[in-house]
Amino acid sequence: MSGKLRKQVRQALADETLQVALSRFTMLTKFGRQMGMAGIDFEALRQELRERKAKAIDNLPALIEEFKANAAAAGAVVFEAGNADKANDYIAGLARRRGIRHIIKSKSMLTEEIGLRHHLERLGIRVDETDIGERIVQLAREKPAHIVGPAIHKTTEQIASLFTELLGEQVSTESQPLLDTVRDSLRQCYLDADMGISGANIAIAETGTIVILTNEGNGQLVTTLSPLQVAVVGIEKIMPGFEDANAVLRLLSRSCVGTKMTVYTSFITGTGKVSGLPLPGGQGPREMYIVLVDNGRSRMRDSDDFREALYCIKCGVCLNVCPVFASLSGQTYGHVYQGGIGAILTAFYHDRERSRDLSEMCMGCMSCKSVCPAGIDIPGLIRRLRAHHVREKGLPAVKRLAYSVLKHPARLERAVRAGAKLQGPFLDSDSMINRLPYPLSSLTDTISLPGLSSGLLRSRMAGCASPAPGRSPKVVFYSGCVTSYAYPELGEDVMSLLERVGVAPYYPQEQACCGAPAYFSGDYGSALALARRNIEALSGGDPDYIVTVCPGCAVMLKKEFLSLTAGLTELHEKAVRLSAKVRDLSQLLAELGTKPVVVAPAEKRVTYHDPCHLKRGLGISAEPRQLLEAAGYNLVEMNDSDACCGFGGDTLLSHPELCGSILQRKLVNIEATGVDTVVTGCTACVLQLRGGLHKNNSPIKVVHIARLLAGQV
Amino acid sequence: MPNDNELLERFKTEAALTGAQVKLASSAEEAVKYVLGLAKEQGITTVVKSTSAIADRLDLTARLSKAGIKVMETSIAQWAAQLARGQEVPIDKIAELISAATGETVPADPKAILQVARRVLKDAYTGAGLGITEADFGIAETGTLVTLENEGNARLAAALPKLHLTLLDGTRIAGSLADAAELIKGSPGGIPGHKVPTFITYLTGRNTTADIPGAIFARAQGPAEEHILILKA
């Protein structure tokens, strides 16, 4: 992890203006998406879009040929540029041959990617961005903060001062007059320029059409007013026909802005003419050039691991819901493409090293995946990217050591016992650790840690290694590391709760870490070793269910073991059988229809935090609430109950400030409910929330739902 | 399948939700009165318009002119005809007409004609208080107006003046984006090599920006208001 990035992260978090702008942005876009999703079947529409994109990318070489032929027949000149330099040189050469001095440009992430504006400016050509946000970042000499809203981080004062400098006259800091000034200054640019450059949101092969979407209207003007027009188009934008374009249009604006359609959707096919007169070009461009850019896209297409990143329609909704983006804005990513999808695109279009830094910031909360209109598994792509980095450069020494311990439960237990002995001086009266010494100090920067338990769960469970004979269903309890080593009493509560609801629980002694830390860091070797061990350990005694209280572990057992064992026929078959039996505790209780074993104290109010891996990983959010209410608890919903708590696993080591910032947003929402107890269904969330509240000296208690239902609170 | 009336109702509802001001006129007279009223209310003195069968039917140019409003045609052929007081003009006469109208000598060369016409029209679009265009059809599910053209004047007349009014035949409403695509594929537009017209614009609501903090502002770079006048049969 580069020190530069960490410094940028700190700066962003300390920038109060930025933080205010970001919270406003997050609120607006959340509201926008709710509006946009109203009245549609999102899952069906995104399935359709994904299928159409997949088919288009599969057939890309043929579609490129079809597009070229149809665009050329309609009067456009098509040039294929293999990389950024070729595209830039071609466009610069065209401008030079035509004696162009002034270009107007609409927003295009691709032109940012290839650095086209800077290339042209270096040659002495004036280039004016016309999207207002893009114009602002151009004047500020910055990179866009967001795919769709490049200047979301700027205040009116900052914008006014940029235009004051540009125009040489005092510009108002009031929004409306400021907008009037910006519009007037742009109007003049359109009228003066002699060349227009646009991107394209979609390209249609069957007609050779490019499709350009703008809400401001600048796209209309850029593509019409200049006699010479260039559209810079990524090859992945090409789709077969109008119905494919419609699949994009149905979700793009709804996802990012919340309107049904972008205000101007412009389909442009070749060059026009004056009706009734032999005047070619008409009032639009006389010459139309389309530059198809590859720049790493074919390489991405050839990669089974990353091909689906090409389905991205650049709507930006993944950024709108990303907790990391909400803390930092896209400026901090330091490259053209931001957020999770940005890490992948950066790896292919720019810089593998930088993409490694970016990929490390992902919390794995899966919010992006849940809203992506093309159904792209962004967290999965990030994990694969990490795995590629691990294969190329190996693991950092600390992780290598850590995972080698995880792989061997006996070593891990020895380490935990040693830790439990050494931690004494660091424990406070609540048995929490508020400050660890270097090099572990960053772990306690934003949360207090629970002390390690010397009485390990496995030894406490020695007498429960097999189910009581004659009872059913047989339920394996898989405890996971946090329960085993920090919260063994939770494990005992789960076992007693399962007894009391009438099932036959047992605790296989050979179970080990689920391997999630290694897996999500891209160390598939260690993860597979642990998967193998757990598959064997948990299949013994032929259980009916395998129950967990850590949804992170559950996702490993249920889903990721399947991909880890793919190709190992015998093991994979066992993993498939295991997968079908895995349940979260609340899911199992709901499924079995068990009666509550304890009743809540009268009028007891609690709030509930949705763990990322439970809600988005396993799709469980109703069950825990039903169980709480059935037990008589009065549930007070917090704002954004399903927003990440900031635990983020390894990210706690590399970016503690970032995790802390995400955590604090969560704690504000918890405190706003006014209740004294927050319930959740994940041991990692318990660790994070409890640690944060303890650090803040808050009296609010954090309880795992299993303890509450077992009557231990 | 929804009938024409249902499509029209849906279109009206959706278009209004996008922030456009929608007026349904049941007679030609009602339509003309609406346009005159809009122009008067907004203090409009100049109008640019693109080719419109509905405007022709309403005799809109004459009615606006009678009310003291200057109307300029923006399709170059129609503009030339307007300069020639309604006569169709062959290409070699156009240079003369433009020379007379602008006071500068324009050679009888297509390139030169186009260059001057574009310049004069640019000034007209930006100086106009109102742009009047006709949509080929509407899309009910999104409240979208679809305009097909090859010349590019309609999209400029829709984007550059202070206000924009779209005329729409109430019987020409497509149900969905999918229906719209079918209609477009059936309208090749008449340029050899083109399978669809050069410029197809879907206009949905008022242009906006969220790039200036404070709110989502209307009138980003296009007209301040979008008006839709639907003629019911």
Count, residues in chain B? 233
Beta carbons within 8 Å of B175's beta carbon, 6+ residues apart: B1, B2, B7, B10, B139, B140, B141
- Portion 626-665 of A in contact with B at CB < 8 A: none
A139 touches chain B (CB under 8 A): no
CA distance B158 to chain A (A): 9
Residue range B206-231: mean pLDDT, rounded? 94
Mutation site for B-interface testing, chosen from A156, A223, A277, A329 by largest number of B Cβ within 10 Å: A277
CA distance A277 to chain B (A): 7
Pairwise CA distance, residues A527 & A520, whole Å: 9
Mean pLDDT of chain A: 94
3-class SS string, A360-414: HCCCCCCHHHHHCCCCCCHHHHHHHHHHHHHHHHCCCHHHHHHHHHHCCHHHHHH
Find how far residue A192's CA is from the centre of its chain.
42
Q: Do B217 and A206 touch (CB under 8 A)?
A: no
Pairwise CA distance, residues B74 & B120, whole Å: 10
pLDDT of residue B1: 65
- The band of B102, judged by pLDDT with boundaries at 50, 70 and 90, is confident
Q: Kindly list the domain boundaries of chain A, sorted by start residue.
A: 60-298
A437 cis-preceded (ω within 30 degrees of 0): no
A39 touches chain B (CB under 8 A): no
* DSSP H helices in A15-126: 16-37, 42-58, 60-73, 84-97, 109-114, 116-122
Mutation site for B-interface testing, chosen from A210, A275, A287 by largest number of B Cβ within 10 Å: A275
Do B157 and B133 form a contact (C-beta atoms < 8 A)?
yes
Q: How many CB atoms lie within 10 A of CB A82?
A: 14
Pairwise CA distance, residues A621 & A607, whole Å: 13
Give pLDDT tens digits for A468-526.
888 999 999 999 999 999 999 999 999 999 999 999 999 999 999 999 999 999 999 99
Q: Is the dihedral of CA A533, A534, A538, A539 positive or negative?
A: negative
Give pLDDT tens digits for B57-80.
999 999 999 999 999 999 999 999
A555 touches chain B (CB under 8 A): no
Pairwise CA distance, residues A257 & A261, whole Å: 9
Cα within 13 Å of Cα(A677), Cβ side: 17
Element (H, E) at B119: helix B110-127
Pairwise CA distance, residues A83 & A62, whole Å: 20
The tokens of A243 are what? 């119905």
**Amino acid of residue A703:** V
DSSP per-residue string spanning A44-57 = HHHHHHHHHHHHHH
Do A304 and A566 form a contact (C-beta atoms < 8 A)?
no
Architecture in CATH of B4-37+133-231: 3-Layer(aba) Sandwich (3.40)
Q: Is the dihedral of CA A348, A354, A360, A365 positive or negative?
A: negative
B153 touches chain A (CB under 8 A): yes
pLDDT of residue A71: 98
- Could you tell me which residues are beta bridge partners of residue A128? A104
A269 touches chain B (CB under 8 A): yes
The tokens of A432 are what? 């929490």
Question: What are all long-range contacts of A339-345, with beta carbons under 8 Å and residues at least 24 apart?
Answer: A339/A368, A340/A368, A340/A378, A340/A379, A340/A381, A340/A382, A341/A309, A341/A312, A341/A368, A341/A376, A341/A378, A341/A381, A343/A382, A343/A385, A344/A306, A344/A309, A344/A378, A344/A381, A344/A382, A344/A385, A345/A113, A345/A309, A345/A312
Which stretches in chain A have pLDDT values below 50? none
pLDDT of residue B233: 66
Residue of A nearest to B201 (CA): A266
Residue range B206-214: mean pLDDT, rounded? 92
Q: Do B204 and A263 touch (CB under 8 A)?
A: yes
Beta carbons within 8 Å of A443's beta carbon, 6+ residues apart: A436, A449, A652, A653, A656
Residue of A nearest to B112 (CA): A279
Give pLDDT tens digits for B115-146.
999 999 999 999 999 999 999 999 999 999 99
- The band of B209, judged by pLDDT with boundaries at 50, 70 and 90, is very high
Q: Do A264 and B202 touch (CB under 8 A)?
A: yes
Among A361, A439, A450, CA closest to A695: A450
- Could you tell me which residues are beta bridge partners of residue A293? A81, A234
Do B211 and A178 form a contact (C-beta atoms < 8 A)?
no
ipTM above threshold 0.95: yes
Do A551 and A614 form a contact (C-beta atoms < 8 A)?
yes
A273 touches chain B (CB under 8 A): yes
Find how far residue B40's CA is from the centre of its chain.
19
Give chain B positions within 8 Å (CB) of A155: 213
Give pLDDT tens digits for B148-178.
999 999 999 999 999 999 999 999 999 999 9
Give pLDDT tens digits for B193-205.
999 999 999 999 9
Pairwise CA distance, residues A256 & A635, whole Å: 32
CA distance B149 to chain A (A): 8
Residue range B99-111: mean pLDDT, rounded? 89
The tokens of A429 are what? 């009266």
Do A313 and A355 form a contact (C-beta atoms < 8 A)?
no
- Portion 144-173 of A in contact with B at CB < 8 A: 149-152, 154-156, 159
Do A133 and A108 form a contact (C-beta atoms < 8 A)?
no
- Portion 34-63 of B in contact with A at CB < 8 A: 51
Give pLDDT tens digits for A181-193.
999 999 999 999 9
Torsion angle (degrees, nearest 10) of CA B194, B197, B198, B202: -140
3-state secondary structure of A441: helix
Least CB–CB distance from A283: residue in B141, B153, B203: B153
Count of A-B CB contacts under 8 Å: 229
Give pLDDT tens digits for A109-130.
999 999 999 999 999 999 999 9
Give chain B positions within 8 Å (CB) of A270: 191, 193-194, 198
CA distance A215 to chain B (A): 5
- Tell me A633's DSSP state: -
Pairwise CA distance, residues A309 & A318, whole Å: 13
pLDDT of residue A396: 86
Among B134, B142, B155, B139, CA closest to B198: B155
The tokens of A278 are what? 């032999």
* pTM across the whole model: 0.95
User: What is the fold of A60-298?
Assistant: Rossmann fold (3.40.50)
A439 cis-preceded (ω within 30 degrees of 0): yes
3-state secondary structure of A274: coil
